């Protein structure tokens, strides 16, 4: 879940340098590749989560290629941000590639991407919030391949040891605090939560706030809603009701939870595979995150889209490939193979029927909030995470004001 800031900076510099040198990705005067009709030789670069995903995508691509008469070569990247940056800088991008939601605006803003989403059948079937995640300057560029969301995981044994029952499962901030106090009284750390915007940001959404405006062009952190959200999280930290993973000698929240160092954790549906592999005897339940003071539900969504290079010689065939990869049936096959959730709403019922324990995660897909959708924000967001890591002893308002100041410098006002 973590990226190298150095690699990110290098890749971004490569992108910007290419554009500055006059070979912009959307330059049709000799810059754009001549389109080829008929069978294609697609190069596909993926950021694979492991062997299961690589095999599933490779098999699906081979099936499409066989039916279409084209070739489709799938390559799992070692570091997709770096490799894409170098490929674009050299004007040799793959035809199709994964784009993380947190990186999307960087590529869209320099014309690297073909805006093909309107050519996909029933594009409105993709969750609206996910389509918004891949929207730049009012245009949906690419379609999400799948999605993940955050939820609240509860250790069954530690919950019961604190005298808590199903009736105590928190659906509000007040109830979360009350349950945490009872768990702490039994000598257990109540909640493990990651120390970055990718976890703490959920509380902003639950209180009707966010770091930037809907179009990603305005900094909106310094608001009463956001200050109240960070103040609530700060209270949990100060009172010992929540701790960051590093305070629990853990690399991430799931590790702290699996080792029994915290009774609750806020993590995504990827925790299921980690618990099965590393902590198979730990019994736990999954629930939607508690709503904020006004009853607003909020979680964060994590997704990638199928990007198509603006300079691909096989755009039409690439669109057909993406179409095949994102049908409801194919998404369900991917879900079974490597644990992701479908990004099409029409596949929700089948997914929940097959994986009923994931119902809280899939429920969050309808209202999950994507990452900050603006280019050139890496340094600003890294600074924000640094501020959040010191939240227990710092001023929430100061953290928000600093973000706004830094973001406005990048966003231009």
The pLDDT score that the predictor gives to residue 3 is 37
DSSP secondary structure string, 329-381?
Answer: HHHHHHHHHH--B-SBGGGHHHHHHH-GGGHHHHHHTTTEE-----TT-HHHH
The residue length of the chain stands at: 413
pLDDT digits (tens, 9 = 90+) for 352-392: 999 999 999 999 999 999 999 999 999 999 999 999 999 99
Task: Please name the residue that has the structure tokens 């010191």.
Answer: 390
In three-state secondary structure terms, 166 is helix
Query: Please, what is the average pLDDT of the chain?
Result: 92
CATH of domain 5-147+303-369: 3.40.190.10
Contact between 257 and 153 under an 8 Å Cβ cutoff? The reply is yes
Q: What percent of the chain has pLDDT over 90?
A: 90
Mean predicted confidence (pLDDT) in 287-301: 98
Is the pTM value of this prediction over 0.75?
yes
Integer angstrom CA distances of residue 121 from 145, 269, 327: 14, 28, 9
What CATH code would you report for 149-300+376-411?
3.40.190.10
Percent of residues, the chain, with pLDDT higher than 70: 92
For residue 33, what pLDDT is reported?
Answer: 61
List where CATH 3.40.190.10 sits in the chain: 5-147+303-369, 149-300+376-411
5 token code pair: 């800031």
122-145: average pLDDT: 97
Region 6-27 average pLDDT: 41
For the record, the structure tokens of 258 come out as: 């699996």
- State the pLDDT at residue 51: 95
Alpha carbons within 13 angstroms on the beta-carbon side of residue 328 total 15
Give the burial string for 100-126 (b: 16+ CB within 10 Å, else e).
bbbbbbbbbbbbbbbbbbebbeeeebb
| 17-60 pLDDT, tens digit each | 444 333 334 444 334 566 777 789 999 999 999 999 999 999 99
């Amino acid at each position: 879940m973590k990226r190298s800031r150095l690699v990110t900076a290098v890749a971004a510099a490569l992108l910007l340098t290419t554009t500055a040198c006059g070979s912009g990705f959307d330059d049709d005067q000799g810059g754009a590749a001549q389109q080829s009709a008929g069978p294609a030789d697609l190069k596909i670069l993926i950021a694979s989560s492991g062997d299961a995903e690589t095999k599933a995508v490779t098999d699906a691509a081979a099936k499409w290629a066989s039916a279409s008469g084209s070739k489709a070569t799938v390559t799992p990247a070692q570091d997709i941000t770096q490799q894409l940056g170098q490929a674009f800088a050299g004007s040799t991008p793959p035809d199709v590639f994964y784009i993380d939601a947190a990186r999307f605006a960087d590529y869209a803003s320099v014309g690297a991407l073909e805006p093909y989403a309107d050519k996909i059948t029933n594009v409105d079937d993709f969750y609206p919030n996910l389509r918004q995640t891949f929207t730049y300057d009012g245009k949906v560029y690419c379609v999400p391949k799948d999605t993940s969301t955050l939820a609240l995981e509860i250790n069954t044994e530690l919950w019961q040891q604190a005298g808590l029952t199903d009736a105590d499962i928190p659906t509000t901030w007040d109830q979360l605090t009350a349950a945490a106090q009872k768990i702490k009284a039994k000598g257990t750390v109540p909640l493990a939560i990651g120390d970055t915007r990718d976890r703490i940001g959920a509380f902003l959404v639950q209180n009707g706030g966010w770091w930037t405006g809907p179009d990603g062009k305005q900094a909106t952190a310094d608001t009463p809603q956001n200050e109240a959200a960070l103040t609530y999280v700060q209270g949990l930290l100060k009172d010992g009701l929540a701790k960051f993973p590093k305070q629990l000698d853990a690399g991430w929240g799931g590790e702290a939870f699996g080792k029994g160092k915290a009774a609750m954790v806020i993590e995504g549906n990827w925790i299921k595979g980690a618990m099965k592999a590393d902590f198979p005897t730990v019994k736990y339940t999954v629930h939607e995150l508690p709503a904020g003071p006004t009853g607003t539900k909020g979680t964060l969504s994590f997704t990638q889209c199928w990007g198509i290079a603006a300079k691909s010689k096989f755009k039409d065939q690439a669109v057909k490939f993406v179409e095949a990869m994102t049908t409801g049936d194919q998404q369900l096959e991917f879900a079974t193979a490597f644990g992701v959730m479908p990004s099409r709403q029409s596949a929700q019922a089948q997914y929940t029927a097959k994986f009923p324990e994931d119902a809280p995660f899939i429920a969050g897909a309808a209202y999950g909030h994507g990452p900050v959708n603006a280019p050139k924000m890496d340094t600003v967001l890294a600074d924000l995470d640094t501020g959040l890591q010191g939240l227990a002893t710092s001023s929430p308002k100061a953290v928000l004001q600093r973000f706004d100041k830094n973001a406005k410098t990048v966003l231009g006002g």
